Every structure is written in structure tokens, then in C-alpha cells.
Homo-oligomer: A and B are copies of this chain.
């Protein structure tokens, strides 16, 4: 069934890529030194002032129950199920029952996300102490696994009689997915396969329960991720059944009769309750992307993280099975997102109700949801589309998400986080308008529902998996993101290293040097015949930017140049030391939204390279809505915008009574923009208390230089207004 497709590619093994990039190395070090240890404390309920996670507590409780039953010589029989809420908390927080499950139904996944980040981190930066901690945690987790392979402490502790009766909302298969992701990463990072084996056993058990065969449950995950995780497990182990199971989940979803509808009914019967309507929306299971089969879907709908995780799995299965209907679905959904539902910050999910995609072109700025995890999920989807077809648009969108919303999710000290990433913030509204209570004006420490911080950790630690892929036939090495580091891969039959120096996101220049690693049989001029493909970023002019890439010296005449789908393909004989230099233009771009986007009518936003900019009140004074960009001047002469490489001093005490947005003093390097413009009415306070409505007259103008900082750097200097879009 699998088509051979020379275009298909895959990320390099974690252990064979290093990141030395000034920008990303800083982020990775932040994750390694601040987030991963903090996360471990959080998993173990050791963060003062933060809500306990109960994650390791649950694994320990399950492991203890297993051990006690084993000691009595009989198989462990868990208790009968009782539902204690979507998030179960101890009656007396000071004395949790050591044998009870606490936290959210998906709390197990916190461990899996942590171990995934640890796996990547250990590959980059060996740390025996961390590895020992991780191994001990893995022992506990593995001890919690039932004999049949089942491993979700929520049901193990609450009653296995109800396992797999609420796929829709109880995240068992989501926990499987994260376990697999974590286990593979830890295996790749350390070579240790204990957790991988446990994950395989859980996957095997799920495989024995689910499928189209008679007698099996015809269900699928309520929160997707298992689809792409199982594909990864297949690619790691070579076991075809994991791909088949992923394909089953992807294609069964949304088929009529709807499994979730039937499941809702069955569960209501079990509980003796009425079936509650799932939502007020016309397609109730659209939240789960389960309203119709994916091959019939044309619009990205529902919970944005679930959706993009799902599309990632669909793309994976499409790539490996050659199913053109699935691929067409991915294409349609991708276009819908990119053409109608994508924030200029790379965020997705316009509405907080259901943390979901809103309708086409509905991209509100101040009540945006734009969850950090959703931007991460979009990067997953984009990377997978790239694996199918190296088309630069996928990399453009992936890069947009990574440099902007993903990084905005984390404070510069790595200690507080945004779940919601608005494009416009008035702190007053966040405090006083209940409609905006989901929007925070300062980052928060750690949530009970710990999705975003560990998700940031795992994607930042694995940024190299997004930068580079190698074609399935080992003929072509793709550079999607210009991230400094060294990637080693078998290319044209030889181990080749590409050593990248890059200066993004602040400068567009850099170089890639080819090293032929194994020169044993060719002492003088080691050679391999291969293609290096370099993305031509849309922000640099797209294919017009091909001239910005040069092959140095004699190699230039040895190699053919071809531009295709936004990539420059350099093909021919590569020798050790061959060097490709690039110098992408880094013009400031002043962008307008499609006129269908009501929220952005009459406004512009600024980008430079992959970085989206914003204005903060701390730099520009209050009432950012009274600032106007002199767009005509900037359009006429881009040099009207001042570009300044400068230090950025983060550090502020938290001001939000609901958050803890304290940021430690940190100095980072950024590029700041200064845009010409004007401000209405001088001082807005002078009109406070004045008439609410008065005869219109042309606004009094006071010229103003508008200071813009990278969006990812906002909210690092205390609570202040912010806006990405500025009036013209």
C-alpha cells in the first residue's frame, strides 16, 4: 500500500543533531535548567503555592496496589468505578489519601511530557543525575502498569470496570499517545528501552481492544494524539500493527453511527442518567473533530489542539499509506487554517469556548484564545506536511508558530507561562471583564491542567526535529529552519554532517558547511553525491530569495541549482568543507489582514524575518488604541522604520491577583523597531469624565515614535497594555 515517494522525508534521530544556535540554545538552556527541574517538582507536588499535580502520587498509588496484590499471589483486581469529577481533589489537601487518584483524568500525561523533554535534553546535554531521576520515575510508572499492559492510573485507581467507557472525555488514549511520545524520546535520547517496552505493551493492549473487527470496540480517542504517536512507534520499532492502529483511529473517527453518541447513551444507561446534549452547536461532536469522517471534512473546527494533533496523525498516516483521500483532507484543512483561521502570531483557535477554532476569518485579538499548545500542535501538523511534500509554506507557518506564539508562552526566566496568547491586552479588561477572564495580562506559574508548560518544554528541546529532515531515500537533506547546530545523517551512502551557523531571528546571514564524517576510504577529497535543499522563506521574498544563497568556491560549479516549491535544491558532488552561505534580506514588513477579518480592518502589524512585533504600553504609554502608524510613510520608504539590535531587560513583579507573573531579571538580545506615527488627542486622561459622545472632528495629532518589540518578549516587564495590530 505504501507508495514510494522520493519527496517524503523524516526528522533526524535526536541523538544525531545538536543545537548550538545562539537563539534556540538559550531557549533550550532555559528549559533544561528552569523548566525541567520545576516540572519534576510540580509532578511531585513540591512547588510551594502551586496547585498539586498528583501525577507521581497517582503512579505510586497504582504501583503500590499492584505490588500488594502481587505479594498476595493474585492478579491485581482494581476497585469498582466511582466518578469523582473531571478533576478530583482531596477533601483535606493537607492529607491526601495515598491510595486515591487525584487531579485531572489525564494527569498521567504530565509525566509523559516531562520524560519526553528529558529524553531530548539528555541527547543534547548528558546529565547523569537527571537520568537517574528519570530512570527512577520510569520504574514507578512501569510498576503501575497492569499485567495486560493497561496503563492509565485514573481507571486503575478508580475502577477498571469503567475503562474505555468514556473515550470521549476521559483521555485514556490521549495518555497512551503521550506515553508513547515520551517513551520514544527517552529511548532515542538515552538508548534505554524500559519505558518504550511499557508503551508498546499498552499499545498492544489497546490494539487488542480497538478495531473494526467484530467483538472489538469501534472507538477512537476523544483527545487525539495517539494517532501520530502510534506512527512514531511504528517508525521506531518497525511494528506495522502500530501504523495499522493509527490508520484505524484516523479513518474510523466520525463514521456513522457516531461512536461518541452511542458511548454517551451507553454511559447514561450505566449511570441511570439522561443523555445530556453535548453542546448547543449544530454539529455537537465537531469539538472532537468526530462529526464526520476526516475525508469529508473541509473546515478546521472544534478544540484547536485536538484538531491539529488529529491532522498531524492524519498526515502521518497519509504519508505512510499513500492514502490520497487522507492527503486531500489534510490539504483542505491546512488551507482552511492558513487562509482563514491563523493569527499573524502563528496562533490558532479564536474562541475560548471549547478552546476552539472560530468560524472563517473570525480572529478576535482581545478575546483570542490562541492556546500555546495549539501553536505547538500547528507546528506538528506543518512538520508532517513538510515530510510529505517539501513546500516552503509549511515551513513558513511552522516557523511563525515556533518563533512567536510558542515562545510567547514562556517568560524569559522560564518560570511562568501563558496558556492563552491574545494579540491585544488591556489589563483593566482582564481584571474587570468576565468575558475576558481567560485572558491573562501576566504569565502564571503552573496550572492544575498542566498542558502548555510541558508542551513548550518538549518542543523547545526538540526544535532540531523541525529544522531538518532527510528524504526517505537518503538522497536529500532539507533545511527547513535556519537553526545553528550540527546534523549528522547518512546521505548518498555516506555519513554527512551539515554544520549550520545562523543568526536568526535577528540577522538573515549564516552558512552551512558540509563535513563528510567517514573519510576512511577517501583520504583526500571525501565526496558524496547528494542534494542539499534550503528553504527560501516567504519573509525573505520566497523563491526570489534564491540568489541570497551562494555556494562558495569551486563547489559552485560542481552543483546544480534548482528552485522548486520554495526550496533551493543544490545537487551534485559534495566534498568535505563545501560551504553554502546565505544572507536573507530582513526587511521590516508592514502587513494588513485580509479584508474579511473584521477585527483587523484599518490596522497593520509588523514583522521582520519570522518575528511578529507588538507594542507595549510600557514603551508607548497608555491607550494604545489611540496610536496610529504613518503607514503611507513606511510604505514609501521602509527606512522610516528604525531597526535596532539592543539588550532587552526582562524582570518585573507580578501584578495580577489571579496570576503570579513574576519575572526574574534577565537580559536578552532582541531587535527593536521604531515606527513613525502619531497619537490622538495628546493625553487620553484629559477626556476622562468628559462627554461620552460629541461632534466628530478630525483627531488632533501629536507625532509619536512607536516602539515595537518581538511578540514573544511581551509581558516580561510587568503588567501593561499590548497590541499586535496598530491603527493606520
Report which A residues bind B (CB closer than 8 A).
280-281, 338-340, 342, 344, 351-354, 358-359, 362, 367, 426, 428-429, 432-435, 437, 589-598, 601-602, 604-605, 623, 625-626, 631-632, 635, 680-681, 684, 687-698, 727-728
Contacts and interface: CB of A to CB of B under 8 A. Distances in A.
Given A353-B435, A433-B359, A693 B602 contact: no
A691 B433 CA distance: 33
B602 A602 contact: yes
- In the complex, the 5 A-B pairs of residues with the closest C-beta atoms, listed nearest first: A592-B696, A359-B432, A353-B434, A591-B693, A598-B625
A434 to B, nearest CB: 4
Contact of A635 (B280, B338, B626, B697): B697
B684 A362 contact: no
A630 to B, nearest CB: 12
Contacts of A631: 696, 698
Q: Which of A437, A631, A691 counts the most B-chain CB atoms under 10 A from its CB? A: A691
A697 B281 CA distance: 38
A339 B692 contact: yes
A598 B681 contact: no
A610 to B, nearest CB: 13
17 contacts: A281-B434, A339-B691, A340-B689, A344-B693, A353-B434, A359-B429, A589-B695, A590-B695, A590-B696, A591-B693, A591-B694, A591-B695, A592-B694, A592-B695, A592-B697, A594-B692, A595-B680
Given A601-B625, A684-B595, A687-B595, A433 B351 contact: yes
Nearest to A335: B689
Contact of A691 (B353, B594, B680): B594
Nearest to A342: B692
A355 to B, nearest CB: 12
Tallying the copies of this chain within the complex gives 2
Contact of A696 (B342, B604, B684): B604
A704 to B, nearest CB: 14
Given A601-B626, A692-B338, A362 B429 contact: yes
Contact of A367 (B359, B435, B632, B692): B435
Contacts of A428: 359
Contact of A632 (B602, B693, B698): B698
A692 B593 contact: yes
Contacts of A626: 595, 601
A727 B604 contact: no
A434 B696 CA distance: 34
A557 B426 CA distance: 60
A543 to B, nearest CB: 16
Contact of A689 (B339, B598, B687, B695): B339
A156 B340 CA distance: 56
A625 B727 CA distance: 14
Given A281-B434, A354-B434, A362-B429, 11 more contacts: A353-B434, A359-B428, A362-B433, A593-B692, A593-B693, A594-B687, A594-B694, A595-B626, A601-B680, A602-B602, A631-B698
Q: Which of A280, A358, A696 counts the most B-chain CB atoms under 10 A from its CB? A: A696
A631 B696 CA distance: 8
B594 A728 contact: no
Nearest to A658: B280
Contacts of A594: 687-688, 690-694
Contacts of A605: 693
Given A426-B598, A433-B358, A596-B684, A696 B635 contact: yes
A689 B335 CA distance: 9
Nearest to A366: B598
A474 to B, nearest CB: 35
A352 B435 CA distance: 8
Contacts of A359: 428-429, 432-433
Nearest to A683: B595
A435 B435 contact: yes
Nearest to A279: B434
Nearest to A367: B435
A7 to B, nearest CB: 25
Contacts of A596: 623, 684, 687-688
Q: Which of A590, A594, A635, A695 counts the most B-chain CB atoms under 10 A from its CB? A: A594
Contacts of A681: 595
Contacts of A429: 359, 362
Contacts of A590: 695-696
A267 to B, nearest CB: 23
A690 B339 contact: yes
A633 to B, nearest CB: 12
A666 B540 CA distance: 60
A435 B351 contact: yes
Contacts of A340: 689, 692
A367 B367 CA distance: 11
